[in-house]
Chain A
């Protein structure tokens, strides 16, 4: 019964009853506690129950509360006997029954929602709020009392970091590990080994500040990992379909990149060349403008060849203009207006000259273009002529030969004929031979082609398979990772849960109880079988007794007719039989009486359990109180009446 009590008390605590920690069983419950917790349960089950939270002091009010409580519980579907006395004059077993019923009726959905696995964000929120609450609860401690901000406190105490004083930057430095040590079968060279064992500093000594060690290592590993992942990704998407081995693929890619780099560099160089020339062209333009506007303009330009030639052309003009401008400067007798006029004239002159020059240049350019075009034409013509010439020479040679053969025409004709015949013959034989060779070769070629295509398709299939496997592998890995995460989360949840509900203990206990019950059932069955066999034996014996008695009775009766002494024996037998019958009867009677006694004892025990005496005392005192209340009421009533 203790288990049941524990569960009941735990559930009552969960719904918010204030129970002392030293209350371990229902026997320790006082009347007030019973009533208040029953009311609490009812309120959780049905929010509209209108009852005071604790037992009132007035006797009649108590009585009313008890009856209404009982009626509400009966309405909920309680099958046992219940009334005000169940609560006010409590009996442990009845109370237990009532509470078990009430707790069974408690709403369950709330509990179910709690059991669902929470999301990661909810967990995060919870941990945040927990740690914030912990900080709020703990008093402030000056920083110099903590070493590196680490403290040991809380309830239960844990190591924790407070504040950000000793936080250090996540700063990584390059660091060096020994590589290839995992594979023992691969030999590493002597020099490398000696380097690793003697000269390579420990990873903790490689950074200047100790707090950089962890970031450095993590950074290194992370970069390695990401590189590996990227490579895997690329290999899956591009590498595999290209059907090259890994090294080949890498080599090819490297080649391609190098080529691309080379091309890029070359085009950049060219472009930069273009750029400088265009820049200089712009400079040129500026220079021309300057010359048009200002009297003296000698812009310095970075030189490409083009510019130099341009400068050569323009340079002379410049000098000319300069001299033209300087001339009027020499004779200074003229007035300002004249000077102005002259200048304008000069400018006009220069402009016209400039325009002339420009048009001339254009013309020249056109001409040069024409000339180059005609040159090309000529070249073409020449090449065609050369071709013709060659052809003609060829034909001339053939003709000359035939002419040489002409004098001895017939002989030569026959000779040629024979030559032609023999060559034709040879051609035919060769063709035959070729045919002979060709047929098997073609056959072979076809076979090989078939084989190749088959192989190709097989390879394609295999490739597809590999791809499928790879994707599957990835999926499975992802799945496993997810499951692991879920497991972690669930474990965390479980750890939190076990603190308040030791479910497993309960289930274990239940299993034990069930097995106990089974054992007891077996024992009962055994006993039943035993009693049945005993009954059978009894029946058999009594039958035997009857039969032996009748047989002896008959025998003695027959003899009794002849002998007097036997008559006496017969009488004795009858008496004996009767006596024994009586004896058996008494034995059975004692049995029944014993059983009755046991039953009565049980009853006594049961009655004594229900605290009759104390309850009686309570009832009498309550009755007295009630009487008193009644009398006071009556006096009040009378007073009012009078």
Chain B
């Protein structure tokens, strides 16, 4: 995208009133923070679809860049120089409020550089009361679901663990946690 193009895209924001501006900017930031992307239908009357794409892309890029490079207020104002003053202030406000969130999400993105990344996990404990051969088993079983995000998309890996396996897993995780703690400030 050329500079000229970017300037034009930034100006699309001027079509909205201040309330809508605030909302759209927050929803763009939400999109960066993985809280759900902005929805076109809400602004369908104001923008055409390409305009909307340009707008959201431009502002996503802007916010990311501003947070990444710790841009000062004046520099941001310079980038936004063609916007009306009220809108400038709104953009500044949104960025200052959400700076930490965006930074956090960018950090998370950066730290998950490996091919497959654990995003979530779920566990259940089941108590096997008996089996077809044994009347009373009474053995607790953990079934662990690991949500792994890889290039193929989200995958769920399920593991069934008995007591010893679980203990082993937990000790190894504790070891990992110790290392993480040392690198945490």
Determine if A170 and B122 form an interchain contact, defined as CB atoms under 8 angstroms apart.
Answer: yes
Chain B residues lying within 8 Å of A176, measured Cβ to Cβ, are 33, 35, 101
Quick check: is A459 within 8 A (CB to CB) of the other chain? no
Q: Which of A202-242 contact B (CB under 8 A)?
A: 206, 208, 219, 230, 234
- Supposing A128-B127, A250-B185, A253-B185 touch, asked if A208 and B122 sit within 8 A by C-beta, the answer is no
Main secondary structure of the interface of A (DSSP, over half): helix
**Taking the nearest CB of chain A, how far is it from the CB of B137, in angstroms?**
13
- Chain A contact residue count (CB 8 A cutoff): 27
Q: Which parts of B99-136 form the interface with A (CB within 8 Å)?
A: 101, 105, 120, 122, 127, 129
For residue B85, give the distance in angstroms from its CB to the closest CB of chain A: 16
- A174: Cβ under 8 A from any B Cβ: yes
Contact B22 A206 (CB under 8 A): no
Who on chain A is nearest to B89 by CB?
Answer: A191
CA distance A219 to B181 in the complex (A): 19
Assuming the contacts A170-B122, A195-B26, asked whether A175 and B35 have C-beta atoms less than 8 A apart, the reply is yes
Are B26 and A169 closer than 8 Å at their CB atoms?
no
Contacts of A194 in B (CB 8 A): 93
Is B129 a contact of A128 with CB atoms below 8 Å?
yes
A257 within 8 A of partner (CB): yes
**B147 A171 Cβ-Cβ under 8 A:** yes
Chain B residues positioned under 8 Å from A175 (CB to CB) = 35
Interface size on B, residues (CB 8 A): 26
Chain B proximity of A524: nearest CB distance (Å)? 64
- Contact string against B for A residues 450-490, beta-carbon threshold 8 Å, 1 for contact and 0 otherwise: 00000000000000000000000000000000000000000
- Whole-angstrom CA separation of A163 from B43 in the bound complex: 44
B36 within 8 A of A: yes
* Complex interface residues of chain A between 224 and 273 (CB less than 8 A to chain B): 230, 234, 250-251, 253-254, 257
Chain A nearest CB: distance from B23 CB in Å? Answer: 6
Residue B159 CB within 8 A of the other chain: no
B170 to chain A, nearest CB (A): 14
B97 interface residue per 8 A CB criterion? yes
Asked whether B96 is an interface residue with its Cβ less than 8 Å from the other chain, the reply is yes
Contact assessment for B34 and A174 in the assembled complex, using a CB-CB cutoff below 8 Å: yes
A:118-138 near B, CB below 8 Å: 124, 128
Contact with A206, one of B36, B93, B122, B147 (Cβ below 8 angstroms): B36
Instruction: Please give 8 more A-B residue pairs, beta carbons under 8 A apart, in addition to A171-B120, A192-B97, A200-B26.
Output: A124-B127, A173-B34, A174-B33, A191-B97, A194-B93, A199-B22, A230-B177, A257-B185
26 A-B pairs whose Cβ atoms sit less than 8 Å apart in the complex: A124-B127, A128-B127, A128-B129, A169-B122, A173-B34, A173-B35, A174-B33, A174-B34, A174-B35, A175-B35, A176-B33, A176-B35, A176-B101, A191-B97, A192-B97, A195-B26, A195-B98, A198-B22, A199-B26, A206-B35, A206-B36, A219-B120, A230-B181, A234-B181, A253-B185, A257-B182
Binding site for A on B (CB under 8 A): 22-23, 26, 33-36, 93-94, 96-98, 101, 105, 120, 122, 127, 129, 145, 147, 177, 181-185
